[in-house]
Amino acid sequence: MKTKSGAKKRFSLTGSGKLKRKQAYKSHILTKKSKKRKRNLGYFTTVSKADTKNVKKMI
């Protein structure tokens, strides 16, 4: 089965098998967001448990 090339670029597996993703809301309208909020949006986070099965199927 072919992988979805968009998902391949957006998600990656960690060593323990969890899925890593970037956070949303960091692309535009950054003037009204605080420094702390923008800084914390820069970090990676994990995909929620409910979405993990579908995302693994795509990559």
CATH of the domain at 53: 4.10.410.60
- What's the domain count of the chain? 1
Half-sphere exposure in the Cβ direction for 11 (13 Å, CA) = 22
Nearest to 17 by CA among 46, 50, 58: 46
pLDDT grade for 3, boundaries at 50, 70 and 90: confident
pLDDT at res. 50:
96
What average pLDDT score do residues 2-14 get?
A: 92
| Lookup: tokens for 11 | 């998600």
Q: What's the domain range around 19?
A: 5-58
Stated pTM of the model:
0.79
Write the pLDDT tens digit of every residue in 18-52: 999 999 999 999 999 999 999 999 999 999 999 99
Q: What is the pLDDT of residue 30?
A: 95
Place of tokens 């800084």: 39
Gyration radius of the chain's alpha carbons: 14
